[in-house]
Amino acid sequence: MSGLTIRNARVLTETGFLDRCSVTIEGPGIGRISDAAGSEPTGGDVYDARGLLLLPGFIDLQVNGGGGVLFNDAPTVDAIRTVAACHRRFGTTGFLPTLISDELDVVERGISAVREAIAAGVPGVLGIHIEGPFLNAAKKGVHDASRIRAIDEDAVDLLSSLESGRTLVTVAPEQVPERLLERLCDAGVVVAAGHTAATYAETRAALETGLRGFTHLYNAMSPLTGREPGAVGAALEDPNAWCSLIVDGHHVHPAALRIAIASKQAGRCLLVTDAMPVVGTDGESFQLQGRRIRVADGRCVTDDGVLAGSSLDMAAAVRNARRMLHLDLEEAVRMASAYPADAIGLGKSYGRIAAGCRADLVLADESLNVLAAWIGGIQVLGAE
């Protein structure tokens, strides 16, 4: 049998962790998993995991930048390569390069760059996340209000134009006419609510039309109150909608995140980083659309104190989920792998260690220090 066998690993399988397992990679996929009681696959190369954790690679649906690069500033294939290389050091083997609100020519260039990156086989690129500019200026957060605009038919055509990979679009649902939301959903775009002042009724109507999820739950959206449940209330009530969470201790109080997880069905809460260019660098500041963003104590903020993304990486997000949200390792890892894959319709082949799934794998120690990674069966990080 040809291929690579990773042996003697503590593997997170569909049924939980199994010790002293072997995982055989055949081409870009997983061929076989053998437990300690079974016969190990023979032939091909062997990688000794030395009892370390072998996890499904992390999937991050909100990556604005990393390695000193901001995707808005450089919507190019080279920038995507740099961001991908940065984040794979922290276990991210699949991601959506993310644009915040900008002019539509920047959106067009970003979509073109992602299309070219996928065609060129840049490891880890799963599609694009377009967060704005079809938002509510009243909930803009750090987004530039001058770039927020109304959606129209031409914009829907642009948002639906990637063709390869997945497209996630974050909109304020109260700003999108039902017929245009329906067009986006029918075109295969995954639509999420964010930066929204929508009422509960408006959010429910969007969910019934095809809205699938909520971007960075709680942040920049109408809150849950006793008489008006708002977007947050609709998100927590809906059994099928997913909610992405930024678990950095700054964006949302851990107790609010624990309430969200307790409210939702298993598998509907997932981790994102909302990462900015400083991830993977020693930078203490960066420029965001002409504004200086300071980085202090893990917070990215404008000079007037508005949060501007994060300095979070996925390995840190998983560690935080364990510590702040009191989750076990298995669930925290699934929130960074299987659940985001499910959210964008890739769950049958991504985010899991199972025969027939993609061989996107991460080797880590118990502290979640990432030591090696494979994407599509090819080792992209670490040495034997």
The confidence score (pLDDT) of residue 157 equals 98
Q: What's the pLDDT band for 2 if we cut at 50, 70, 90?
A: low
Give 183-206 pLDDT, tens digit per residue.
999 999 999 999 999 999 999 999
Q: How many CA atoms lie within 13 A of 303 on its CB side?
A: 5
Q: With 70 as the cut, is the pLDDT of residue 36 above it?
A: no
Q: With 80 as the cut, is the pLDDT of residue 42 above it?
A: no
Q: With 70 as the cut, is the pLDDT of residue 291 above it?
A: yes
Residues whose CB is less than 8 angstroms from the CB of residue 93 and which lie 6 or more positions away in sequence, other chains included: 57, 58, 59, 123, 124, 360, 361, 362, 373, 374, 375, 380
Nearest by Cα to 337 from 35, 121, 34, 54: 54
User: Given strand 307-310, what is the order of strands in its sheet?
Assistant: 285-288, 291-296, 299-302, 307-310
Give 308-357 pLDDT, tens digit per residue.
999 999 999 999 999 999 999 999 999 999 999 999 999 999 999 999 99
Q: Give this prediction's pTM.
A: 0.97
The confidence score (pLDDT) of residue 44 equals 81
Strand 65-66 vs strand 69-70: parallel, antiparallel, or unpaired?
antiparallel
Higher per-residue confidence, 71 vs 3: 71
The confidence score (pLDDT) of residue 35 equals 82
- State the alpha helices, DSSP H only, in 20-147: 77-88, 104-119
Mean of the per-residue pLDDT values of the chain? 96
Give 120-131 pLDDT, tens digit per residue.
999 999 999 999
Please give the CATH number for the structural domain made up of 4-55+352-381: 2.30.40.10
Instruction: State how far the Cα of 312 lies from the Cα of 164, in Å rounded to an integer.
Output: 28
Instruction: State how far the Cα of 161 lies from the Cα of 347, in Å rounded to an integer.
Output: 23
User: How much of the chain, in percent, has pLDDT values that exceed 90?
Assistant: 95
Token output for 108? 């067009």
Average pLDDT over residues 62-75: 98
Strand 242-245 vs strand 53-56: parallel, antiparallel, or unpaired?
unpaired
Strand 53-56 vs strand 4-13: parallel, antiparallel, or unpaired?
parallel
The confidence score (pLDDT) of residue 324 equals 98
Nearest by Cα to 370 from 315, 329, 333: 315
Instruction: State how far the Cα of 196 lies from the Cα of 221, in Å rounded to an integer.
Output: 5
Q: With 80 as the cut, is the pLDDT of residue 10 above it?
A: yes
Whether residue 136 contacts residue 197, with contact meaning beta carbons closer than 8 Å, is answered with yes
Please give the CATH number for the structural domain made up of 58-343: 3.20.20.140
Q: What's the pLDDT band for 1 if we cut at 50, 70, 90?
A: very low
Cis check for the bond before 223: say yes or no (omega within 30 of 0): no
Q: What's the pLDDT band for 161 if we cut at 50, 70, 90?
A: very high
User: How much of the chain, in percent, has pLDDT values that exceed 70?
Assistant: 97
Average pLDDT over residues 133-143: 97
Report residue 332: phi and psi, to 5°.
-60, -40
The confidence score (pLDDT) of residue 383 equals 62
User: Given strand 166-171, what is the order of strands in its sheet?
Assistant: 58-63, 92-100, 127-131, 166-171, 190-193, 213-214, 242-245, 269-271
Residues catalogued as catalytic = 274
Residue ranges per domain, the chain? Answer: 4-55+352-381, 58-343
